[in-house]
Amino acid sequence: MKKYDAIIVGAGPSGIFTAYKLKEYNSDLNILLIEKGRNIEKRICPKRELQRCVGCKPCSITTGFAGAGAYSDGKLSLSPDVGGELPAILGYDRAKELIDEADSIYLKFGADTNVHGVDQVERIEKIKKQAIVSNLKLIECPVRHLGTEEGYRIYGDLQQHLIDQGVEILFNTMVEDIIEENGVVTGVKTTGGDEYYSDDIVIAIGREGSEWLKGVCEKHSINTKVGTVDVGVRVEVRDEVMKEINETMYEGKMVYYTPTFDDKVRVFCSNPSGEVATEYYDDNLAVVNGHAYKSKDMKTKNTNFALLVSMNFTEPFKTPIEYGKHIAKLGNMLAGNKILVQRYGDFKRGRRSTDERITRNNIVATLKDAIPGDLSLVLPYRIMLDIAEMIEALDKIVPGMASDETLLYGVEVKFYSNKVDVTPEFKTNIKGLYAVGDGAGITRGLQQASANGIEVANTIIKKLSAKK
């Protein structure tokens, strides 16, 4: 029976950086990285050629080496104020140190040295003032933009680096369960019946695996908290509308508390000159996302971003992931398992969008197979009103945002609401079991997920050092 120094479940940014840091500490460590998806070279989405989803199992957009990060826009948020709970768990200064360390690794593998949002102070101050007048909070966050194609290359180089360093990576391998006895983890078991053993198991699955993690937590009485549900739409406008923010900050992260319900709505994942995309999860659930490329010949004339409403529930509610999936499934039902799109003018007037009204727009939809429809048949009234109030507030600092022709795609849901209760060392109540990343409800983006992987590796390094 082979026993590993550490087993990492999930090869997203958290898992990658956990393995990277462990090998940096000691290249002789036996590290096993298990990923249910494909290696990065085989993560090819047929939709890019066929213009339609063929139902790959698992989906190459959301699973495989680098997780959803491989096909994301590749924005690295360099402030602890954005992207997760690390400042609350570790303290602001420590979170910043880890983010900087993760950033140095991305730079080592060829990330763009340019950082957006740091060199145009006067223009940022102007936008901030406009936001204050509109009751919006502008979150200043330096951003390093990898771009979808460059991010893919960087993660490919990281994959090869880990292999060269002797990390054993099992692709196309689904972990079925952890092996646990009397509150102590001893290994993992795959759906193929194989068992792998270690005293230290890191669960580093991303948002796509949050449902699986929820089941593991319930089975093994791993302590969790009911997290926030983020549900909303992806907005698409012409680049001209977003020009000032795009040129000044690349991504304008803003938060708004709506006047009617006092709900939190935030701008998330902005993609200048990007395209709207569909992500499919294991149960063939289609949700909307967005990307942007670095290469000029792959840019579009549109900017897209998410508007997410944060819904906080109290007892006895315990199923935030199912709630989000239920809303997304309603959209899938109406759109034939595709994404709905609606003009904001139709959204306000409570009528279904049609192909004819969408094609008369100045803006041309970048998600070509989106189905014109009516989001009021999908989203709860409260979320609908939150979105409308946010768009009207944004229009005061981004004139044209509330134009009739602005496109809304639905539904966008972030499945990181199964929040695992962890210590500052990211230990669960099961000895030897650690939980990190988006799937554990700890991070919400590439940079904090990467930083989270570094810190959990530090915890394991301290443990291994103490054994010497």
By percentage, how much of the chain surpasses pLDDT 90? 72
Q: Across all residues in the chain, what is the average pLDDT?
A: 92
Which amino acid appears at position 351 of this protein? R
The verdict on 88 and 165 lying in the same domain is: yes
**CA 230 to the chain's CA centroid:** 11
Specify the pLDDT at position 116.
85
pLDDT digits (tens, 9 = 90+) for 346-368: 999 999 999 999 999 999 999 99
Buried b (16+ CB within 10 A) or exposed e, 172-202: ebbbebbbbeeeebbbbebeeeeebbbbbbb
Specify the pLDDT at position 228.
76
The verdict on 373 and 435 lying in the same domain is: no
The verdict on 327 and 187 lying in the same domain is: no
Identify the CA nearest to 156 among candidates 43, 290, 60, 47: 43
In this predicted structure, the answer to whether residue 250 has a pLDDT above a threshold of 70 is yes
Which residues are paired to 265 by β-bridges?
256, 309
For residue 408, tell me if it sits in a domain.
Answer: yes
For residue 210, tell me if it sits in a domain.
Answer: yes
pLDDT digits (tens, 9 = 90+) for 29-56: 999 999 999 999 888 776 666 666 666 7
* pTM across the whole model: 0.86
The verdict on 290 and 371 lying in the same domain is: yes
For residue 309, tell me if it sits in a domain.
Answer: yes
**CA 49 to the chain's CA centroid:** 24
Specify the pLDDT at position 298.
86
Least confident of 109-118, 327-336, 382-391, 457-466: 109-118
Specify the pLDDT at position 322.
86
By percentage, how much of the chain surpasses pLDDT 70? 96
Mean pLDDT of 276-287: 87
End-of-domain residue from the set 376, 395, 414: 414
The verdict on 297 and 371 lying in the same domain is: yes
The verdict on 104 and 162 lying in the same domain is: yes
Specify the pLDDT at position 187.
97
The verdict on 271 and 381 lying in the same domain is: yes
The verdict on 281 and 357 lying in the same domain is: yes
Specify the pLDDT at position 97.
98
Identify the CA nearest to 435 among candidates 202, 222, 214: 202
For residue 135, tell me if it sits in a domain.
Answer: yes
Identify the CA nearest to 352 among candidates 342, 362, 361: 342
Between CA 300 and CA 62 the distance in angstroms is 23
Backbone angles phi, psi at 154, to 5 degrees: -60, -45
pLDDT digits (tens, 9 = 90+) for 366-378: 999 999 999 999 9
Mean pLDDT of 219-223: 96
pLDDT digits (tens, 9 = 90+) for 67-125: 877 667 788 999 999 889 999 999 999 999 999 999 999 999 999 999 988 778 888 89
CATH code: domain of residue 27? 3.50.50.60
For residue 405, tell me if it sits in a domain.
Answer: yes
End-of-domain residue from the set 393, 414, 435: 414
pLDDT digits (tens, 9 = 90+) for 110-156: 999 999 887 788 888 999 999 999 999 999 889 898 877 788 899 99
Specify the pLDDT at position 48.
63
The verdict on 40 and 177 lying in the same domain is: yes
The verdict on 194 and 245 lying in the same domain is: no
Identify the CA nearest to 26 among candidates 235, 176, 167, 124: 167
Residue whose pair of structure tokens reads 């109290």 in the numeric block? 314
Between CA 303 and CA 276 the distance in angstroms is 9
Q: What is the DSSP string of 320-350?
A: HHHHHHHHHHHHHHHHTSS-EEEEHHHHHHT
Residue whose pair of structure tokens reads 């079925």 in the numeric block? 176
The number of distinct structural domains making up the chain is 2
3-state secondary structure 35-102: CCCCCHHHCCCCHHHHCCCCCCCCCCCCCCCCHHHHHCCCEEECCCCCCECHHHHHCHHHHHHHHHHH
For residue 116, tell me if it sits in a domain.
Answer: no
Q: What range does the domain containing 72 cover? A: 3-111+146-225+419-467
The verdict on 99 and 133 lying in the same domain is: no
For residue 294, tell me if it sits in a domain.
Answer: yes
Q: What is the DSSP string of 150-198?
A: HHHHHHHHHHHHHHHTT-EEE-S--EEEEEEETTEEEEEEETTS-EEEE
The verdict on 409 and 448 lying in the same domain is: no
Confidence of residue 416 (pLDDT cuts 50, 70, 90): low
